[in-house]
């Protein structure tokens, strides 16, 4: 291909026309090509380049992102580089190799004859071809993508924060948000259409029905006269119906289930134990019309970011304190749609990662994609692929992606915030994702665009906005519904059963001689509805203010000793506990001393039987099958032996 033919090819290159914010004298002409505008800026003094770079980014966001991606520079750095021609020659060679390999040799032979303007034109043409190749399958499979434009207050990190009527922590209600639809088939750069805009309210947490016809979202229409409620839009006619409506209650983060909806809500009436201005949220389910509301979790602080796996289970982040520090315990949990089977999935016994948020299952894989973030940090961070077969704690099985690189183990509160930032990934497969990403790859920037991203870091900007961050991309297309799981809850029951196969199996009692543990003490937790004062605690996992103190420098929550269950000679135990009550266990020796204390909790639904192999055993281990039954199996579940009288608060 000759220089002339390459330039002719560029005659078909259309540029994305947007309104350009005025910043001093206008230097950018959106009616001219990207190359013409770059050449114009290069001819100006460095001060002018800095002044007008923002206009260049606004007028040509996709082309600017190509440069930032390929050079590893900000656009302003590229404009100020001493040898832009050499930089272009290098990145054109790479682009032609990926986008049009047949032209690489021809270009390489003739590259020295091209001036800077010609190189810019060739570069843009090569990037367009590369973009077409990268997005070919996406356009064919997911031509339409729904996403949100909203403020950070609408997606606060560790809880939905500004959810009750009024401002959060003195911050003003920040209105203005939209549900948008990106059509990748309409234009080489795509076309964005607004499905719903509210200049006075806040819209968040969008999801797409499995038939691809409806959108579930959360809407708070005013600062003082409304709360967050669930709504549904029929895409074809844009009709909207309200699903939940209870005043004084905030319902957020709704997700479609094969039967109904799962969401988080302040209906639990708990205060976050370290901050009296934040309402806790727990997980609930309801029918598609908002009826038959059921509480699924009974947790101390908040559950967040639910997602439905292909096998029908729900994964979510659980934020918890229980006789340990407040910064690190934000790992992944999993449960059945009826609330049974609640158990840790990854990171409940870890310092790293600090927080695992916005996790989703990768289709046709046993891996998860998630964002690794901090505790006192916004809801964004590094993008990671998690292989549960490789481990469940302290970074085992975690690979950082986009680009792929090994993890750097760190014990940090505000983890992952000094890099480029990711948010709300939607996996296409193990190698390709839709994701919110720091626009133009600018480090520490929470100005997010919607990107197509590959695990090696190759990316294409799909949608952006000059004012509002763009979040939560989800294809608007039918997809296979997850497996339906029958409910294991027994209506009318008030208890459940725990079974332990061998308490000496696992890390919890490592090194403890068999026969030492005689009892399992069962302790219930009771959570306060409101702050009652201030105390403080501190330690390796951070310093914390306690707004629900039951002691000075001590526990977060009130503890109620329910009683003791016998542990038999073979290490087995089986006992009955109240349903819908969070409980934890202590291993007790013959003198009544606690050998080990659980620093989390477990909750059973009515009629549920929950079993474990041992004490903090790996989840990848199964019990032996070819063996006689345990003593606990033979005797059956026992009732708890009272602890010096009826169950009551312990002082």
Lowest model confidence (mean pLDDT) among 7-21, 56-70, 100-114: 7-21
- Rounded to whole angstroms, the Cα distance separating 149 from 199 reads 11
- Please give the residue that has the higher pLDDT: either 217 or 186: 217
What does the mean pLDDT of the chain come to? 87
The C-alpha angle 588, 607, 572, rounded to 5 degrees, equals: 30
- Helix %, strand %, coil % of the chain (to 5): 20, 30, 50
**Angular region, 144: left φ>0, alpha ψ -120 to 50, beta rest:** beta
Q: Is 547 exposed, middle or buried (0-12, 13-18, 19+ CB in 10 A)?
A: buried
> What is the per-residue DSSP string for 294-311?
EE----SSEEEEEEE-TT
Calculate Rg over the CA atoms of the chain: 28
> On the CB side of 202, how many CA atoms lie within 13 Å of its CA?
32
Average pLDDT over residues 300-326: 90
**Residue 16 predicted with pLDDT over 60:** no
The 10 Å Cβ neighbour count of residue 86 is 11
- Tokens matching residue 570: 């073979």
Tokens standing for 137?
Answer: 């399958």
> pLDDT by residue (tens digit) across 254-296?
999 999 999 999 999 888 888 877 888 999 999 999 999 999 9
List the one residue out of 155, 303, 365 whose CA is nearest residue 601.
Answer: 303
How far is Cα of residue 137 from the mean position of the Cα atoms in its chain?
A: 25
**What does 81-96 look like in DSSP terms, one character per residue?**
-S-HHHHHHHHHHHHH
Distance CA 529, CA 531 (A): 7
Over residues 593-609, the pLDDT tens digits come to 999 999 899 999 999 99
| Cβ count near 558 (within 10 Å) | 15
What domains appear along the chain, each with residue ranges and CATH number? Answer: 3-138 (no CATH), 142-475 (2.120.10.30), 495-649 (no CATH)
pLDDT for residue 551 is more than 80: no
């Amino acid at each position: 291909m000759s220089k002339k033919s390459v330039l002719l090819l560029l005659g078909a290159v259309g540029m994305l026309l947007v309104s350009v914010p005025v910043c001093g004298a206008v230097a950018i002409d959106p009616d001219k090509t990207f190359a013409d505008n770059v050449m114009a800026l290069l001819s100006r003094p460095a001060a002018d380049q800095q002044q007008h770079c923002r206009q260049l980014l606004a007028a040509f966001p996709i082309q600017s992102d190509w440069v930032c991606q390929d050079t590893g520079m900000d656009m302003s750095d590229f404009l100020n580089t001493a040898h832009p021609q050499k930089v272009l020659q290098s990145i054109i060679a790479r682009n032609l190799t990926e986008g049009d390999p047949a032209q690489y040799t021809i270009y390489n032979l003739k590259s020295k004859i091209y001036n800077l303007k010609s190189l810019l034109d060739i570069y843009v043409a090569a990037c367009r071809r590369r973009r077409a190749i990268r997005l070919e399958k996406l356009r064919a499979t997911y031509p339409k993508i729904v996403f949100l434009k909203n403020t950070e207050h609408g997606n606060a990190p560790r809880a939905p924060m500004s959810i009750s009527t009024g401002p959060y922590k003195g911050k003003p209600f920040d209105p203005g948000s939209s549900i948008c639809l990106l059509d990748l088939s309409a234009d080489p750069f795509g076309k964005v259409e607004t499905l719903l805009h509210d200049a006075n309210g806040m819209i968040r947490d969008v999801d797409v029905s499995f038939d691809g016809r409806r959108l579930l979202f959360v809407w708070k229409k005013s600062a003082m006269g409304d709360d967050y409620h669930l709504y549904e839009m029929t895409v074809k006619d844009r009709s909207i119906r309200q699903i939940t409506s209870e005043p004084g209650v905030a319902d957020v983060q709704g997700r479609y289930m094969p039967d109904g909806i799962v969401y988080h809500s302040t209906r639990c009436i708990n205060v976050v134990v370290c901050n009296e201005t934040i309402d806790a949220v727990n997980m609930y389910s309801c029918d598609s019309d908002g009826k038959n509301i059921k509480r699924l979790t009974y947790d101390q602080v908040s559950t967040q970011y639910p997602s439905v796996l292909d096998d029908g289970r729900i994964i979510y982040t659980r934020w918890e304190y229980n006789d340990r520090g407040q910064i690190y315990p934000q790992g992944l949990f999993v449960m059945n749609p009826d609330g049974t089977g609640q158990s840790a999935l990854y990171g409940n016994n870890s310092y790293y990662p600090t927080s695992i948020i916005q996790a989703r299952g990768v289709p046709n894989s046993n891996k998860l994609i998630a964002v690794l973030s901090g505790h006192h940090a916004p809801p964004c961070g590094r993008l990671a692929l998690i292989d549960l077969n490789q481990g469940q704690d302290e970074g085992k099985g975690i690979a950082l992606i986009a680009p792929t690189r090994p993890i750097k183990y760190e014990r940090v509160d505000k983890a992952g915030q000094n890099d480029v930032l990711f948010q709300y990934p939607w996996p296409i497969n193990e190698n390709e994702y839709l994701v919110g990403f720091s626009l133009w790859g600018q480090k520490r920037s929470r100005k997010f665009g919607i990107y197509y991203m590959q695990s090696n870091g190759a990316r294409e900007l799909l949608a952006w906005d000059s004012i509002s961050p763009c979040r939560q991309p989800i294809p608007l297309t039918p997809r296979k519904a997850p497996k339906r799981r029958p409910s294991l809850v027994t209506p009318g029951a008030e208890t459940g059963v725990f079974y332990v196969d061998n308490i000496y199996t696992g890390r919890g009692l490592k090194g403890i001689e068999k026969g030492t543990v005689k009892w399992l003490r069962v302790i219930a937790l009771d959570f306060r509805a409101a702050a009652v004062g201030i105390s403080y605690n501190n330690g390796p996992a951070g310093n914390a203010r306690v707004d629900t103190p039951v002691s000075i420098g001590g526990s977060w929550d009130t503890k109620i000793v329910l009683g003791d269950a016998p542990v038999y000679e073979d290490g087995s135990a089986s006992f009955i506990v109240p349903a819908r009550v969070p409980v934890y266990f202590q291993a007790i020796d013959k003198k009544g001393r606690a050998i080990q204390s659980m620093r989390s909790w477990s909750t059973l639904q009515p009629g549920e039987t929950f079993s474990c192999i041992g004490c903090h055993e790996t989840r990848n281990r199964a019990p032996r099958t070819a063996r006689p039954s345990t003593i606990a199996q033979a005797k059956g579940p026992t009732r708890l032996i009272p602890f010096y009288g009826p169950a009551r608060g312990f002082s």
